[in-house]
Structure 1
Amino acid sequence: MKTRKNNSSIFRSAIIKFRCSVGEKTIIRRQAAASGKTLSEYCRGQALHGKIYATRRLTPEERQYFITLKDQNLGLARISNLIRNRDPALYRAVGEFLTDARTLYNQFF
């Protein structure tokens, strides 16, 4: 006896059509591409949630910059752990810098 595999994807079979001008369609298509979604996903998200947050695509240089930022963040965290007991003021300053760096990194990744 064969068992069915549990498919985690949702099968969408219903079709909804709406009218728009050619200019509106190109604008919607550009916004969908900018958000990294297909036209259907973009329209579905707008209809259900009202907001689609467009994630900006990073260039390879920007990606490398943030990877370097993360490596520096880890290095400074290690240094701050070493100086924790000797100079509490410096430890707090490094900690504040690390939280700022983490929030900047988490905005893009």
Structure 2
Amino acid sequence: MISRLKKVLEQYEVDVTVKLVIITGEGKAFCSGGDIVRDAQLLLEGHWSVLVNMYKENLLLDYLAATYKKPLVMLIDGVVMGAGAGLSMNASFRVVTENTVLSSLFQPLF
């Protein structure tokens, strides 16, 4: 998901017909934290290199959002966790509804 979103954002950034990019979640959550569950599984299984590469890709996506040359709007409704929380915080504009619940891991998993 992260590499696909990064690729699309890079394409939109250079497309002259795109003036604004809006990202929203699917269903009842903006980002339900599936990445956190996957990270914990990889950690417990000892797959450090996979985890490091995933975090690298995630941070590159966050950097792209923070330096995006066009207005980047996040429509945040429902639960926002993990990578979605980091990504949304780096957007030009964040629209948060009364249904939004922010949850993030700020403590190390190891």
TM-score by length of 2: 0.31
Q: Which has the higher helix share?
A: 1
Larger Rg, first or second structure (1 or 2): 1
Q: Which has the higher strand share?
A: 2
